[in-house]
Chain A
Amino acid sequence: MRALKRRRFPERFMANENGRYQNIYSKSRRSALPPGTNAPDFTLRSTPDQWLNLGEFRGQPVVLAFYPADWSPVCGDQMTLYNEMLKEFHDLGAELLGISVDGAWCHAAFSRDRKLHFPLLADFEPKGDVARRYGVYRDKDGVSERALFVIDSNGQVHWSYVSPIGVNPGADGILSALEELQSKKENTNAVTAGAK
């Protein structure tokens, strides 16, 4: 009998001591939709039997958080962090939507495991279509970038950011963008009130 040859994964596929898989994704060009563009509309599954349409949120800011995949290590996980930030997002009038190419059943299991209290959208069929339209799909890897969009109440991109794929971008940029939107709204209200 021939001995099985033991296969070794190249180093870049191994987790480093923080459990991060920094190098499993290729390096790609980034071309996220910039501020001022209209945010492409979409309808995606939010659960195995429910659909969610971006247009439903017209009139309030939306945070669209693309991430590569469900099930990254817990304590450094982007969705876990945002889950703790929901109150702050809501206080600024915004809704948060997570989005990845994972299917609705995978999202359901992930969401239950991490006790997430916001929708995860399945950009599953055609795979990555929405990510492509927002300019954040990674063809070589078959997943989206770690990309953030803050969409204003008129459906325009107000702020976008693409993080290095292995780095959780945190929430500071989102909060600043939402605060800008809020002060803009207050100024507009003040001007309108002054004109009356």
Chain B
Amino acid sequence: MGTKLNLPDKARDHIVGDIDAPVALLEFGDYECPFCGQVQPVVKAILDRLGDSICFAFRHFPLSNIHPHAEHAAEAAESAGAQGSFWEMHELLFQNQQALDDESLVEYAAALGLDEARLIREVLSGAHAEHIREDFRMGVRAGVNGTPCFFINGQRYDGARGLEPLLAAITQGSGLYVA
């Protein structure tokens, strides 16, 4: 694939921040995974605290057999991304993990002022399915073993998912000062 398996890649990933920031945080996640939902406020707090010092990317890792809506939710996020609203949809999906059926996905598209017909068409035709599968495969090859799975500067993080331990792992060795 030629791309970096465990570092954000500007050419293919959705990225927050500058790709050359001192810290790279990559998350593999599933919109229907409760643990991923729980960790979102932590991710946000980390991005707030580190500001320009961090680059964050999200890749899809839908466990479709146990999470029947995860694949379409990921496709809806990608479709929103194609309309320039990936992170807005990402946020909405995690806030509404209990309602990720197709009808709800369309409602979220409407709420974000997106072209709903296009989103429906893209989700139903699997227009972004290959990209999502590629995310998944890259994750497996990088050593993702469940969701959520974080990589800090390319290293898999296996510690606790609270703000303090994650922040400590991120700032450790990077010389960053966190206010």
Binding site for B on A (CB under 8 A): 16-19, 74-78, 80-81, 83-85, 88, 114-117, 167-172, 175
B145 A85 Cβ-Cβ under 8 A: no
Given known A-B contacts A16-B160, A84-B65, A115-B65, A77 and B136 have beta carbons under 8 A apart: no
List, in ascending order, chain B residues with CB within 8 A of A80's CB: 63, 65-66, 146
Q: Which of B10-18, B31-39, B96-104, B121-129 contacts A (4 or more CB under 8 A)?
A: B31-39
Total A-B pairs in contact (CB under 8 Å)? 66
Q: Interface SS of chain B: helix, strand, loop or mixed?
A: loop
Question: Would you call B141 an interface residue if the criterion is a C-beta within 8 Å of the partner chain's C-beta atoms?
Answer: yes
A74 B66 Cβ-Cβ under 8 A: yes
A114 B65 Cβ-Cβ under 8 A: yes
Chain B min CB distance to A116 (Å): 7
B35 A75 Cβ-Cβ under 8 A: yes
List, in ascending order, chain B residues with CB within 8 A of A16's CB: 160
Question: Would you call B112 an interface residue if the criterion is a C-beta within 8 Å of the partner chain's C-beta atoms?
Answer: no
List, in ascending order, chain A residues with CB within 8 A of B143's CB: 170, 172
Q: How far is the CA of A18 from the CA of B166 in the complex (A)?
A: 13
Binding site for A on B (CB under 8 A): 30, 33-36, 62-66, 136-137, 140-148, 158, 160-162
B65 A116 Cβ-Cβ under 8 A: yes
List, in ascending order, chain A residues with CB within 8 A of B158's CB: 167
Chain A min CB distance to B97 (Å): 12
A85 B140 Cβ-Cβ under 8 A: yes
List, in ascending order, chain B residues with CB within 8 A of A168's CB: 145-146
List, sorted by A's number, 10 A–B pairs whose CB atoms are closer than 8 Å: A17-B162, A75-B148, A81-B63, A83-B65, A84-B64, A84-B65, A167-B145, A171-B145, A172-B141, A172-B142
B33 A75 Cβ-Cβ under 8 A: yes
List, in ascending order, chain B residues with CB within 8 A of A172's CB: 140-143
List, in ascending order, chain B residues with CB within 8 A of A76's CB: 35, 145-147
List, in ascending order, chain A residues with CB within 8 A of B148's CB: 75
List, in ascending order, chain B residues with CB within 8 A of A19's CB: 35
The 5 closest A-B pairs by CB, nearest first: A76-B146, A168-B145, A170-B145, A115-B65, A75-B33
A18 B161 Cβ-Cβ under 8 A: yes
Given known A-B contacts A74-B66, A75-B30, A75-B36, A88 and B137 have beta carbons under 8 A apart: yes
Q: Which chain B residue shows the least CB distance to A116? A: B65
Q: Which chain A residue shows the least CB distance to B165? A: A17
Q: How far is the CA of A169 from the CA of B140 in the complex (A)?
A: 10
Q: How far is the CA of A193 from the CA of B179 in the complex (A)?
A: 67
A84 B136 Cβ-Cβ under 8 A: yes
Q: How far is the CA of A121 from the CA of B38 in the complex (A)?
A: 34
Q: How far is the CA of A73 from the CA of B49 in the complex (A)?
A: 31
Say which residue of A17, A77, A78, A171 sits within 8 Å of B140 (CB atoms).
Answer: A171
B63 A75 Cβ-Cβ under 8 A: yes
Chain A min CB distance to B64 (Å): 7
Tell me which of B62, B64, B140, B147 has the highest count of chain A C-beta atoms within 10 A of its own C-beta.
B140
